[in-house]
């Protein structure tokens, strides 16, 4: 059985609006990325308290702290960014969550990402040491324009850092947008490290994001293999059906519900249960 979650800031900036749609869709967890137009790392202590109280009242859990950490140019100064990592660990502790989503730094346009292999790994190792001290798990998401954009470089990071506190957030649409076949090329390499699967599909033809099962993300094959392999993590809806930006996406209530319905249709077609 799969457990569903969602990037609820794709529904609305308003927390009540986010929770209302999650409840309607019977999605019991959220990837906490943004509330009230602010990123989770920019919320005040009082705002974090308000979020926690509302989630408790509505009985919605948190699947991950969906931070933007690692979405800076790899040549930028790093010390200030580490403060965000420390804050993310504190926020995860506050919400009693183990998983923090991160990235492996933007590569200069036109440059060979492999030339930045050591820089990416060394920076991630420092971030990982902060997470390990707090007993948190970093989830590296594959993303276009960062070092870990294709399957081979993601695998390198998994092996190089080799820690139970460093796992993988598998995003099929992002692989498609990087010219990688998610199931045929990426999944066999990364399956042992996957701790979260993003439900986001896309087309090779133009990179456009589409509902689950309507693109080239090979989601049916991925879900079947994950279930066979005993996958225990979340399926996290991150539809990006309205807008897709460098740091977040948006779908709105109607398109988020359409994305949820598409996922449930796909699971039903595959005779897979969800909760």
CATH number at residue 96: 3.20.20.150
Alpha helices (runs of H) in the chain, residue ranges in sequence order: 15-24, 45-58, 79-94, 117-133, 151-161, 172-177, 187-190, 219-228, 252-269
Residue 80 lies in a domain: yes
Sequential pLDDT tens for the chain (275 residues): 899 999 999 999 999 999 999 999 999 999 999 999 999 999 999 999 999 999 999 999 999 999 999 999 999 999 989 999 999 999 999 999 999 999 999 999 999 999 999 999 999 999 999 999 999 999 999 999 999 999 999 999 999 999 999 999 999 999 999 999 999 999 999 999 999 999 999 999 999 999 999 999 999 999 999 999 999 899 999 987 776 555 566 678 899 999 999 999 999 999 999 99
Residue 251 lies in a domain: yes
Contact partners, residue 137, CB within 8 Å, separation at least 6:
98, 99, 100, 131, 164, 165, 166, 167, 195
Structure token digits, residue 82: 């580490």
Place of tokens 């457990």: 3
What is the domain range of residue 91? Answer: 3-269
Residue 41 lies in a domain: yes
Residue 275 lies in a domain: no
Residue 148 and residue 104: Cα distance in Å, rounded? 6
* Number of compact structural domains in the chain: 1
Place of tokens 């990087």: 178
Residue 256 and residue 124: Cα distance in Å, rounded? 32
Other beta carbons within 10 Å of 111 = 11
Q: Whole-model pTM above 0.85?
A: yes
Q: How many helices (H) and strands (E) does the chain have?
A: 9, 14
Residue 139 lies in a domain: yes
User: According to the model, what pLDDT value does residue 249 have?
Assistant: 65
Residue 108 lies in a domain: yes
DSSP state of 4: E
């Amino acid at each position: 059985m799969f457990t569903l979650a969602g990037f609820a800031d794709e529904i609305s900036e308003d927390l009540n609006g986010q929770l209302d749609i999650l409840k309607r869709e019977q999605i019991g967890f959220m990837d906490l990325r943004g509330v009230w137009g602010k990123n989770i790392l920019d919320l005040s202590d009082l705002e974090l308290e308000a979020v926690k109280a509302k989630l408790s009242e509505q009985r919605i859990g948190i699947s991950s702290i969906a931070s933007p950490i690692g979405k800076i140019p790899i040549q930028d100064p790093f010390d200030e960014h580490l403060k965000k990592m420390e804050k993310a660990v504190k926020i995860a502790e506050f919400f009693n969550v183990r998983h923090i989503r991160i990235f492996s730094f933007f590569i200069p346009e036109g440059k060979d990402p492999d030339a930045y292999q050591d820089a990416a790994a060394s920076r991630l190792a420092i971030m990982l040491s902060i997470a390990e001290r707090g007993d948190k798990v970093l989830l590296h998401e594959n993303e276009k324009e960062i070092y870990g954009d294709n399957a081979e470089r993601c695998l390198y990071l998994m092996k190089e850092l080799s820690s139970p506190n460093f796992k993988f957030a598998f995003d099929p649409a992002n692989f498609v947008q990087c010219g990688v076949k998610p199931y045929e090329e990426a999944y066999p390499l990364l399956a042992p490290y996957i701790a979260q699967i993003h439900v986001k599909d896309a087309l090779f033809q133009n990179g456009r994001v589409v509902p689950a099962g309507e693109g080239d993300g090979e989601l049916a094959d991925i879900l079947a293999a994950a279930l066979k392999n005993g996958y225990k993590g979340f399926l996290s809806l991150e539809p990006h059906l309205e807008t897709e930006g460098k740091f977040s996406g948006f779908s709105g209530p109607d398109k988020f519900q359409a994305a949820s319905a598409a996922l449930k249709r796909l699971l039903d077609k595959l005779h897979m249960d969800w909760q």
